[in-house]
Structure 1
Amino acid sequence: MIIDAHAHVWPDKIAELALGANRLPDLVARGDGTVGGLRADMDASGVSMSCCLGIANQARHVDRVNEFVADLKSPERYGFGTVHVELSAEENLASLRRHGIDAVKIHPLFQDFALDDPRLWEILEAFGDEIAVITHVGEGGSAHANTLSSPAMIRDIARQFPALRLMACHFGGYKILDDAEEMLAGADVVLETSWPPSLKTLRPERVRRLIQRHGAERVVFGSDWPMTSPTEEIAAIEALCLTDDETKQVLGGTMARLLGIDSPWA
């Protein structure tokens, strides 16, 4: 049972606009960002469930995004909601609970707050082990945006909040993999595999070594759709020459266990 930990969708009427506004430099989208487009790529790739990650760039949009994410929930889609530091921890939790959401995406590049912002830490403390968190880590934006997340910040969060179910996108350091390997390999944080435009741009032996050093039971597959092709990203994982058990854990078993999803691979 393949679970994609990292997919983005928007309402059909704004998907094109949202995708264009959020596109990172030098990346060309491979999908259209709609629910129908995601469903088609899931069918083509063999993905059984996609985690659909909502992001509110502004605090006033948090509840609306969470309402949309909640409506996405189905056996094929797991909704990850959003929070914002300009709302209190209580306000953020109230929105998540109101919509039945138990996981969130944080994206410093687009939300313009840092992973070491004290206001975010108040929210993470309020989460405890109730709300799972997946966050962008690393570069990919402006010079300012690139300072808002780092492997060191993820390491500090993991140490401060040991009960938090924390997942770090892009192996914990997009475009700064050396730092991520040094600071996070073996740390108590789950690493996610997406690396737009493709995981194939990294040396397979390096990725295999990182996964085996960190432990496949703490690594989850993510495509970052619609910026990549899930079919190609799954093929890149399968080409790493991991053991069969390690491959199954990465492609779905670890994520199923984290989210409490029934799976033969969990």
Structure 2
Amino acid sequence: MNLGALVAIDVHVHAELGKDGHQSLPAELMAASARYFRGDHPRTPTVADIAAYYRERRMAAVVFTVDARTATGHPPIPSDEVAEACAANADVLIPFASVDPWRGADALLQVRALLDGYGVRGFKFHPSLQAFHPDDRMCYPLYEAIEAAGAVALFHSGQTGIGAGVRGGGGIRLKYANPLALDDVAADFPDLRIVIAHPSFPWQDEALAVATHKPLVHIDLSGWSPKYFPPQLVRYANTLLSDKVLFGSDFPLITPDRWLADFEKLDIRPEVRPKILKQNAARLLGLEGNDA
């Protein structure tokens, strides 16, 4: 990966279609998510499609799926499949993985196999979709392994478009996604690099508090158009968290084209913009100095 040639690193991109056509979520939840976001991307891309899309824009992308088989009963897209597809497009794609925390010892074995055999750089957790509290001690062996490997743990936070508008929200409970739970995780695993994903509505202040207090907690800006960012998030991004805020789109639900067009109009200091778009992510992912 030629870091110098990249204009940005998108740290939040979903693999939602497997190589066999299998979707990452049940059809009802996929349809509800598409309605909620009213996305401008015409179809669900494969990982190869994602690579071509980002290569055309001279961007890199962190790509992952979500394994929520216990909570949803829906088989996931295999994380090793995603990692292999990323490896085949290593000039623009960075593999993250996902494990179901309810699977206990099997999940831990999977974490180790994905780290050792597939070179994943982090893991995506979706507490509301996977139906777990991030500070539940059942997850701690997973965090220990991720921390020991120097990998990243990225957590969905706040309201989710998944299940929005479906009867009963599709059974998905928002309570799991309060980012304050990550304060315990960051305290108990002080060397674990954590990303709080999204503006954390309705818990934005909690996310800012955790990120300012715990040195290795970051915030990604995915899932929202920048024109809707809460003012305190913009203020902290410009100041106290200027080294810890990351560009993320939530592609294919929100395209980087749309996100960047709205970000251009946001009141962000000129010296902070390149940090958010690329420099902070490069440092977090250990890409600094990687120019080939």
Report the TM-score when normalising by structure 1: 0.84
2:238–2:269 CA contact under 8 A, matched in 1 = no
Quick one: distance in 2 between partners of 1:257 and 1:3?
Answer: 11
Q: Which moved more, 1:216-225 or 1:106-115?
A: 106-115
Which SS does the other structure have where 1:105 is aligned? strand
For residue 246 of structure 1, the aligned residue among 251, 267, 272 is 272
For residue 104 of structure 2, the aligned residue among 70, 87, 97 is 87
Q: Which moved more, 1:149-158 or 1:7-16?
A: 7-16
Q: Which amino acid aligns with 2:10?
A: D
Taking the TM superposition and a 5 Å limit, the aligned residue runs for 1:155-170 are 155-170=183-198
State the Cα RMSD in Å.
Answer: 2.9
Quick one: distance in 2 between partners of 1:263 and 1:252?
Answer: 13
Give a deviation string over 1:35-88, Cα, whole Å, max 9, x none: 3543454356x3520110122122796793223323322111011011222132
For residue 135 of structure 1, the aligned residue among 155, 158, 163 is 155
* Percent identity (aligned): 21
Deviation for aligned residue 1:144: 5.0
Give a deviation string over 1:98-128, Cα, whole Å, max 9, x none: 2222311111232222212211122102222
Give a deviation string over 1:143-200, Cα, whole Å, max 9, x none: 75211121211122111111001111014x244324433454454311101133x222
Taking the TM superposition and a 5 Å limit, the aligned residue runs for 1:103-142 are 103-130=122-149, 131-140=151-160, 141=163, 142=169
Quick one: distance in 1 between partners of 2:61 and 2:252?
Answer: 12
Deviation for aligned residue 1:30: 3.1
Taking the TM superposition and a 5 Å limit, the aligned residue runs for 1:6-45 are 6-9=12-15, 10-14=17-21, 18=25, 20=27, 21-22=29-30, 23-24=32-33, 26-31=36-41, 32-34=43-45, 35-39=47-51, 41-42=53-54
Is 1:5 the counterpart of 2:11 in the alignment? Answer: yes
Shift in alpha-carbon separation, 1:105–1:222, aligned structure 2, 3 A: same
Shift in alpha-carbon separation, 1:125–1:48, aligned structure 2, 3 A: same
Q: Which amino acid aligns with 1:64?
A: P
Shift in alpha-carbon separation, 1:263–1:227, aligned structure 2, 3 A: farther
Deviation for aligned residue 1:17: 7.1
Shift in alpha-carbon separation, 1:114–1:64, aligned structure 2, 3 A: same
Shift in alpha-carbon separation, 1:129–1:238, aligned structure 2, 3 A: farther
Question: Which residue of 1 is the match for residue 3 of structure 2?
Answer: none
Quick one: distance in 1 between partners of 2:104 and 2:81?
Answer: 17
Which SS does the other structure have where 1:157 is aligned? helix
Give the length in aligned residue pairs.
Answer: 261
Q: Which amino acid aligns with 1:156?
A: D
1:54–1:66 CA contact under 8 A, matched in 2 = no
Quick one: distance in 2 between partners of 1:231 and 1:263?
Answer: 27
Which SS does the other structure have where 1:116 is aligned? coil
1:125–1:161 CA contact under 8 A, matched in 2 = yes
For residue 226 of structure 2, the aligned residue among 185, 188, 199 is 199
Q: Which amino acid aligns with 1:118?
A: R
Quick one: distance in 1 between partners of 2:51 and 2:81?
Answer: 20
Deviation for aligned residue 1:33: 3.1
Quick one: distance in 2 between partners of 1:71 and 1:17?
Answer: 16
Quick one: distance in 2 between partners of 1:153 and 1:52?
Answer: 24
Deviation for aligned residue 1:129: 4.4
Is 1:69 the counterpart of 2:76 in the alignment? Answer: no
Question: Which residue of 1 is the match for residue 166 of structure 2?
Answer: none
Q: Which amino acid aligns with 2:13?
A: A
Deviation for aligned residue 1:243: 2.9
1:30–1:228 CA contact under 8 A, matched in 2 = yes
Which SS does the other structure have where 1:151 is aligned? coil
